Structure 1
Amino acid sequence: MDFLDELESMAQVAVQQPFESNEPGNDDISRWQSLFGYTYSQAAQKIQEHRSDLSRVLVTESHWEIVRAEKEAQGYNKEAYEHSCTLTTCITPTPQKRSTRATKPSIYLLKLEGPLSNVTQVKSAAGSLETPPELRGTDDSGEPTTFCKINSEDKEKILDYLSRQGSRFQPTFVRYSKAEKDLSVVSAYPSLGIDTTMPQHRPVSTEDLKLCPAPNQFPVWYFFYGTLADPAVIKRLLGCEPSYRPASLTRGALKTWGGKYKALVDAFDDRAEVQGHAFLVQSQEEEDSLQLYETDKYDVVRCEIHMDDQRIRGLTFRFIGDVDL
């Protein structure tokens, strides 16, 4: 589409824009929650963005009349259908990327309310053998509430259960995105750029294991790169003025993902070096904040941090998604 075509398309959207406030109503928010799996706040934001976007996909009245009966039976109105067309056009192959490792299954927090007001009801709806763990937090209005943690498979089963029951209840799912930390107590796994199953990397004595940070060891040195090397980010996350030390590590390489974010990946080469900063994480609470900031696109791995003339066993965040070439 050239520039003039783009302007014409935007003009058509402006002309056909309904005379309504960008502030969405509860019915529209519930519709988008049901159709697209958004939380209440996400749905409200997406509707506002859709209504103010003059370059969005435009569904003509003639096209809508053709598909209207089918789409309304599925719960769509014209606005929601336009949004679904936008999502479809965004799903295109991206051959410029290569895969590093498969990401972990998505985890969600389900607000306990309505017909899913306790973990026993959630367990039954998901057909699960295990009772989901319960967590306490706050909802969008800041009120205390209770959630339980479920995976993406359980989420789909719960939605299917509610549909089969003919329920109009819209459950609130919140994406729980946290960098995983799963340090072995019997080996150096996981370590940046090292296959710890190989004989040369296996511990030969209990003393070797002491070189690796223990799973719950604090304080512990972390190697930071990218946004975590920005003092303003650390101050916002941890509420303190960061004290960095210039540092480097080997067996890693910096790539990018999403066209702009730095991603540390395995290099499996002791000559590969990355420059950054070392930061001493003081507590589990600080580490939790960092893990939530990095999201489940990363995991925590052991590494050797070089500071001045010292070599210290520490931790860093390794990217586990798809990186740009």
Structure 2
Amino acid sequence: MRKWKVPLPPPLPPPPPLPARPRSRTLKPSRNPPHPKSISTQIAQLQSQTETSQSSCPHPPNSKPFRPCHMFFYGTLQDPGVLRSLLSLDDEPLLQRARLSGFMVKMWGIYPALVSCDGGKVDGMLWYCASEDRFEKLDAYETVAYTWRECEVGLGEGEMVRDVRMFVWAGDADSGELEDGEFELDRWRRFFKSSVVRNALSEGA
């Protein structure tokens, strides 16, 4: 079986430190960033792990021809401003709340990754992708650490949307590169969004 090397996470802007984990379940994590040294150490450890580990790829790249379809976003692309900047859209994209079943979120550094999970549910946003060019930009943004799959999502009151594309973790769900956790969109917006938008605008110039 062909082996692949899990790539490094995308370049990060200067990040604020992550809140320290509570010492007991009765304590809530602090929202005040601790000393910058903590996140630098975590990033260095993550990079070291990805450089030295290899795993088989359970989800090989999908070669199915593109056709206009809905996309399910569960991470940074839930933010309309990021999506608009990345794709150089004239208007703010129209996003709709949706829920995916049969998956759960794990964390790859500061980025979320979908992995299969019986009984799991993930809330996110649905967006209609009308062109292959836009899809290819999204695919490049996600990096080769992710691959796309088709799924079915719910919109509420029993309404379902089929043939939806989403980006999932391309490697082993039990990989040491992934950690348990949740993606906090509001926190990401406060500390990282501006750098992502600047990079998208500079690359599109």
Change (3 A) 1:180 1:237: farther
Offset at 1:92?
8.8
Cα offsets for 1:74-100 (capped at 9, x unmatched): xxxxxxxxxxxxxxx979975xxxx99
Flag as ranges the 4+ runs of structure 1 deviating above 4 A: 89-94
Distance 2:170 2:106 in 1: 12
Counterpart pick for 2:95 among 235, 244, 269: 244
1:301 paired residue number:
149
Matched, 1:233 2:187: no
Offset at 1:216?
2.7
Q: CA RMSD in A?
A: 3.0
Offset at 1:101?
5.4
Please say if residues 68 and 128 of structure 2, whose CA atoms lie closer than 8 Å, have aligned partners that are also in contact. yes
2:108 paired residue number:
257
Structure 1 unaligned blocks of 5 or more: 1-88, 105-178, 184-214
Matched, 1:324 2:179: yes
Change (3 A) 1:287 1:91: closer
SS in 2 for 1:272: strand
Counterpart pick for 2:71 among 222, 235, 260: 222
Matched, 1:102 2:80: no
Distance 2:46 2:135 in 1: 34
- Size of the aligned set, in residue pairs, is 125
Judging by fraction of residues, say which structure has more strand.
2
Higher relative contact order (CA 8 A, sep 6+): 2
2:160 paired residue number:
311
Please say if residues 252 and 273 of structure 1, whose CA atoms lie closer than 8 Å, have aligned partners that are also in contact. yes
Please say if residues 60 and 170 of structure 2, whose CA atoms lie closer than 8 Å, have aligned partners that are also in contact. no
Output aligned runs, 1:1-325, within 5 Å: 102=56, 181-183=61-63, 215-240=64-89, 241-258=92-109, 260-267=110-117, 269=118, 271-308=119-156, 309-313=158-162, 314-321=164-171, 322-325=177-180
Which structure is larger by alpha-carbon Rg, 1 or 2? 1
Change (3 A) 1:285 1:324: same
Kindly provide the amino acid, as one letter, of the partner of residue 99 in structure 2. Answer: S
SS in 2 for 1:251: strand
Distance 1:319 1:91 in 2: 16
SS in 2 for 1:306: strand
Structure 2 unaligned blocks of 5 or more: 1-43, 172-176, 181-205
When normalised by structure 1's length, the TM-score is 0.35
Please say if residues 253 and 274 of structure 1, whose CA atoms lie closer than 8 Å, have aligned partners that are also in contact. yes
When normalised by structure 2's length, the TM-score is 0.54
Please say if residues 180 and 296 of structure 1, whose CA atoms lie closer than 8 Å, have aligned partners that are also in contact. no
Cα offsets for 1:167-192 (capped at 9, x unmatched): xxxxxxxxxxxx97415xxxxxxxxx
Distance 2:137 2:46 in 1: 32
SS in 1 for 2:144: coil
Judging by fraction of residues, say which structure has more helix.
1
Change (3 A) 1:231 1:301: same
SS in 1 for 2:135: helix
Change (3 A) 1:291 1:91: closer
Cα offsets for 1:225-282 (capped at 9, x unmatched): 1101111111111122211010011111011012x11111111x1x211000001111
Change (3 A) 1:181 1:285: farther
Change (3 A) 1:319 1:283: same
Distance 1:266 1:226 in 2: 16
